[in-house]
Amino acid sequence: MRIVLVGPPGAGKGTQAAYLAKNLAIPHISTGDLFRANISQGTPLGQKAQEFMRAGQLVPDEVTIGMAKDRMQQADAADGFLLDGFPRNLAQAEALDGILKADGLKLDAVLDLEVPEDEVVKRIAGRRICRNESSHVFHAIYNPPKTEGVCDACGGELYQREDDSEETVRKRLEVYHSETEPIIDYYKAQGLVVTISALGKVAEVTQRAMAALDRD
């Protein structure tokens, strides 16, 4: 299967992508991984991306599209893939269609993870990270530490990242609504969108997604 995963920040796309890719036996391709791999390997596209990132600028669509094209054409993606974070706007969605069409391929589904905006803010703004070890993550509501502000694992100070503040989260949601959400209508016109609720436990959302993809 060739699947695009969409949803607002805080919808759990990364978590669900990992489980779904494993269940479907296809590679999980995320833009974050694409950037890291190309930059660490020093590819021409990676060097271009790094130039923009160092200047504090967004990586242009053509660079991101080029990275995604190269990755989708690798051997392990021959029978399918799950795209996470790409496409992020209409230009990238149209480019993806062109890439697949050139190889006689097409998408099988676009899985839309639906989460109420207030829940997104609650999920992200409630995160607390340990200053000693960033893998120690807690949540003010869903996974609170035994002692407020103190890491259960090592006793380090817990803090809220600047990117996780409510103000920043709401700005990220505005960007999602203006740039990424339009691709949902684009794919709905092609009859590809499968929308599921991303509320509940991780395993429940995965089961919901697998059932929806199976019906599709």
Return left, alpha or beta for 87; rule: phi > 0 is left, psi -120 to 50 is alpha, else beta.
beta
Query: Which is the catalytic residue, given 13, 48, 71, 128?
Result: 13
Can 2 be counted among the known catalytic residues? no
The secondary structure element, H or E, covering residue 94 is helix 90-102
Query: Which is the catalytic residue, given 69, 88, 170, 208?
Result: 88
Can 208 be counted among the known catalytic residues? no
Strand 158-159, strand 109-114: pairing: unpaired
Token pair 């991984």 is found at 33
Can 170 be counted among the known catalytic residues? no
Cα–Cα distance between 64 and 216 in angstroms, integer? 29
Can 88 be counted among the known catalytic residues? yes
Query: Which is the catalytic residue, given 22, 131, 161, 188?
Result: 161
Beta strand segments in 85-179, E: 109-114, 127-130, 137-139, 158-159
Query: Which is the catalytic residue, given 2, 71, 123, 127?
Result: 127
The two three-digit tokens of residue 99, written as one number: 């890439």
Q: Per the omega criterion (within 30 degrees of 0), is the bond before 44 cis?
A: no
Q: Are 194 and 216 in contact (CB under 8 A)?
A: yes
Q: Which residues are catalytic?
A: 13, 88, 127, 161, 172
